[in-house]
């Protein structure tokens, strides 16, 4: 009987433990769950702090962007975005500014071709250009015929330009300068006239006649002996003297010869460009319009031009006296780049240049070069 009472006691205690244990678990578990939810809610993503208070309720719209783990991009994308009262306003803003989303995906870590190397500030570029130059003349009433003859005699020839440029980029803007070796060519082909003067020598012979009259006094001996008187008799003697004389005469003989006078005019410059531009990115490509001024220093020149003294002849170009040492030209270009690797870009550029000053210094006419070029280049980013 005692044993049964003991067993009933323990059974009662065991029943109470089970009952209270279940009750305690049912009460404590929701409380712990609330604490966990509150803790997780307090650990918000860092980018939430970049949104204005009014837009916190719209953060769930960008859960797709959050998967890229590009928190700093939110600062870039929304740095110009003002307060949005509704989700509709934010969607309207993004539709009207698609470049924000484009930059977002280009700058995300998921794009293997975009990283800090593409934002390098300094770079060096090697370029080679095939150029086509056309020499033009400014109309002048005094030398109009001379200018027209030069226009007919000169025709463009392909040249080249090669060198290194150093670039500085600040976001999507850049400035570039360097050293380039440039050769401009023109073909000179003119129907010229050459005059050859010969002198013919001959002697002109002539005869000179000189008459000399001599007077001679004679004493008449017969009269002197007979009478003793001295009688003089006068006799005149006439002499004709003939003299032969010759004169050397030089007669000029001019021979006129017409021929095709041909030459290749070369202007060789060492150039320093100063170019600024702006870059527009699309995936792995960039498009950059640019403008600048190029200063050229004359190294050498050769060729011919119509003579300023005789329009029917030509004369050599004198490098030191005829051609200006400094040659300034305006530059307009459009460049496309492709990202080969994080450090190397391949570029293709078309450009147009025209001279600001005349290429001649002591000539009384004004002549300038119009230049069209196609450039290929490789740019290395530090």
Share of the chain above pLDDT 70, in %: 68
pLDDT band at 223 (very low <50, low <70, confident <90, very high): confident
The answer to whether 378 and 347 have CB atoms below 8 angstroms apart is: yes
The pair of structure tokens assigned to 311 is 């329009």
What's the chain's average pLDDT?
Answer: 76
Q: DSSP assignment, residue 229?
A: -
What is 116-191+262-381's CATH topology? Porin (2.40.160)
The answer to whether 219 and 232 have CB atoms below 8 angstroms apart is: yes
Backbone angles phi, psi at 174, to 5 degrees: -150, 160
What pLDDT does 212 receive?
77
Interhelix angle for 98-106 vs 87-96, to 10°? 80
Question: Structure pTM?
Answer: 0.57
Share of the chain above pLDDT 90, in %: 33
pLDDT band at 199 (very low <50, low <70, confident <90, very high): confident
Torsion of CA 178, 369, 335, 332, to 10 degrees: 90
Selected residue with higher pLDDT from 292 and 109: 292
Backbone angles phi, psi at 361, to 5 degrees: -110, -50
């Amino acid at each position: 009987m005692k044993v049964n009472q003991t067993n009933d006691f323990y059974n009662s205690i065991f029943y109470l433990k089970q009952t209270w244990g279940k009750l305690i678990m049912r009460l404590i578990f929701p409380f712990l769950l609330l604490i966990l939810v509150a803790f997780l809610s307090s650990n918000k993503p860092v980018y939430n702090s970049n949104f204005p208070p009014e837009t916190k309720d719209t953060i769930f719209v960008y859960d797709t962007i959050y998967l890229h783990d590009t928190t700093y991009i939110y600062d870039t994308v929304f740095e110009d975005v003002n307060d949005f009262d509704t989700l509709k306003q934010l969607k309207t803003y993004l539709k009207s500014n698609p470049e924000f989303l484009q930059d977002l995906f280009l700058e995300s870590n998921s794009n293997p071709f975009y990283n800090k190397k593409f934002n390098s500030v300094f770079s060096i570029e090697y370029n080679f250009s095939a150029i086509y130059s056309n020499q033009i003349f400014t109309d002048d009433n005094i030398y109009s015929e001379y200018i027209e003859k030069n226009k007919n005699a000169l025709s463009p020839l392909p040249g080249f330009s090669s060198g290194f440029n150093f670039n500085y980029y600040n976001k999507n803007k850049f400035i570039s300068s360097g050293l380039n070796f440039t050769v401009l060519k023109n073909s000179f082909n003119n129907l010229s006239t050459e005059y050859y003067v010969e002198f013919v020598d001959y002697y002109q012979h002539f005869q000179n006649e000189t008459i000399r009259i001599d007077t001679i006094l004679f004493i008449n001996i017969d009269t002197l002996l007979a009478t003793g008187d001295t009688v003089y008799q006068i006799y005149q003697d006439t002499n004709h003297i003939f003299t032969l004389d010759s004169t050397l005469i030089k007669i000029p003989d001019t021979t006129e010869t017409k021929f095709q006078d041909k030459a290749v005019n070369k202007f060789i410059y060492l150039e320093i460009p100063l170019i600024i531009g702006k870059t527009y990115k699309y995936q792995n490509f960039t498009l950059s319009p640019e403008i600048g001024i190029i200063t050229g220093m004359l190294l050498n020149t050769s060729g011919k031009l119509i003579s300023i003294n005789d329009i029917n002849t030509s004369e050599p170009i004198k490098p030191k006296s005829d051609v200006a040492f400094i040659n300034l030209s305006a530059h307009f270009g459009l460049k496309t780049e492709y990202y080969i690797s994080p450090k190397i870009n391949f570029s293709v550029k078309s450009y147009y240049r025209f001279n600001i000053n005349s290429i001649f210094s002591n000539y009384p006419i004004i002549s300038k070069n119009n230049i069209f070029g196609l450039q290929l280049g490789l740019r290395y980013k530090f």
